[in-house]
Amino acid sequence: MTEKLIIKGQTPASGEVSISGAKNSVLKLMAASLLCSDVCTIYNVPDLSDVEIMNEVLSELGAKTDYYKSEKKITIDARNITNYETSKEFVSKMRASFCVLGALVGRLNMAKVAMPGGCKIGERRVNFHVKGLESLGCECKIQDGYVIAKTNHLRGNMVCFDIPSVGATENVMMASVTADGVTIIQNAAQEPEIVDLANFLKSMGADITGAGTSEIVIKGVKQSELRGCEHTTIPDRIEAGTYMSIIASSRGSAVIKNIFPNHLTLFTGKLLEMGANIKLIDPNTMFVSNDKRLKSMNFITQPYPGFPTDLQALAMALLCCADGISVVTESLYENRFMHVQELWKMGANIIVNKKHAIIKGIEQLVGTQVQATDLRAGAALVTAAVNAVGETEISALHHIDRGYENFVDKLRGLGIDAIRVDTESNTLEKIGEDYGTRV
């Protein structure tokens, strides 16, 4: 199906939007359920293509899953897990599914997992994952596009990463839950999604302290001591940052609900520096507004609690029409400036020099035909489109579908003129009006 998202710019956002469960958290919670010979229920599960893929991965491994989309919950019965191998078909589509590696090793002492895929934003190294599992007593090798890990006995140990790695921290944390003794992860990733995973594992019976800091301590328990649990996924901080950007770009004002503001402290500070108005209505509700041209600013993407690489493209879209010159440094992924060529088509003045992008704010972007090159690039083009003169047509929507639940509905709920078009059958999806068959 060939689809495009058509956005008519320069309509100020208004109304409210509610943030869904965190994509980057729920996928790891689903993987972690493999550790438990029981039934786990996860709530606040977003309806995303990535969740569908992870569901397929778990089913392939022998888990019985029931995904209730309307209730935003999934139950996972991993009592009869026997398969330790994932196919390339699923894992090559989505990097997050690689985190079944640690769970399978912790449950079955063996795993054969295809090399990770997902958005092509740069090299996705697995050496930290391998090094961490080897520290716990695994023999690991990479063969024919798979990482193969096996052990007779997992043993707790000291694991120190050269740089914080979210995926490696998660895999080692899951594997060490059932290892004998104590595992200490130093220079661990500190993202809120790590804390959410630790809380899920603790509800299951794991003994974990320090999640959210650079040192995580896991005291191993017997696999038989792990029990089924219920857990509610945290709100998606990247989705929240996306709508903050869209509202500010449109020069509108709107309310964002179901948000954890402390997960976005640095990004919020940068938006305030640019001139946006942001106020807390209550602990989980934020009011965002902007009625003027924003100001330039500089930032460097860094591991949490630094500026999120997942919001770099959106911030750049805002800076395209900001007063002055801004410098953006991408320190985490070498190919995460692919959206620049699409912003050029809209008239943006951006110069890229290796890991730096220099943006000179112009008076006005102009709508045209562009393509989402990855998930966050797609969201950045939407951010640019709501500010642009005329219509912007965004293609390759499968990238956006990976990370944004009911995107058109939510945009329309904010008053944004957004239509999703199936160009083959010439049908439209537009909330609030009857355009025939919905796609």
Catalytic residues: 119
CB 205 within 8 Å of CB 180: no
Q: What's the CA dihedral at 25, 27, 32, 38 to 10 degrees?
A: 110
Instruction: List residues bridging with 390 in a β-sheet.
Output: none
User: For 174-284, where are the E strands, in sequence order?
Assistant: 182-186, 207-209, 215-219, 230-232, 253-257, 277-282
Residue 49 backbone dihedrals phi, psi, to 5 degrees: -65, -35
CB count, 10 Å around CB of 282?
Answer: 7
CB count, 10 Å around CB of 427?
Answer: 15
State the Cα–Cα distance between residues 352 and 439, nearest whole angstrom: 37
CB 382 within 8 Å of CB 393: no
Q: Where are the alpha helices (DSSP H) in 212-333?
A: 237-250, 265-274, 312-319
Q: Is the C-alpha dihedral spanning 198, 203, 208, 210 positive or negative?
A: positive
The CA–CA distances, whole Å, from 364 to 65, 166, 417 equal 49, 38, 18
Q: Which residues lie closer than 8 Å to 415 by C-beta, 6 or more apart?
A: 11, 12, 13, 14, 15, 252
Q: Where are the alpha helices (DSSP H) in 92-165?
A: 100-108, 127-135
CB 152 within 8 Å of CB 178: no
The CA–CA distances, whole Å, from 90 to 28, 81, 235 equal 15, 18, 25
Amino acid at 412: R
DSSP letter, residue 211: B
The CA–CA distances, whole Å, from 58 to 32, 81, 93, 147, 210 equal 10, 9, 15, 17, 28
CB 336 within 8 Å of CB 312: yes
Residue 321 backbone dihedrals phi, psi, to 5 degrees: -120, 25
Q: The tokens of 425 are what?
A: 């059958």
Cα Rg for the chain, rounded, in angstroms?
22
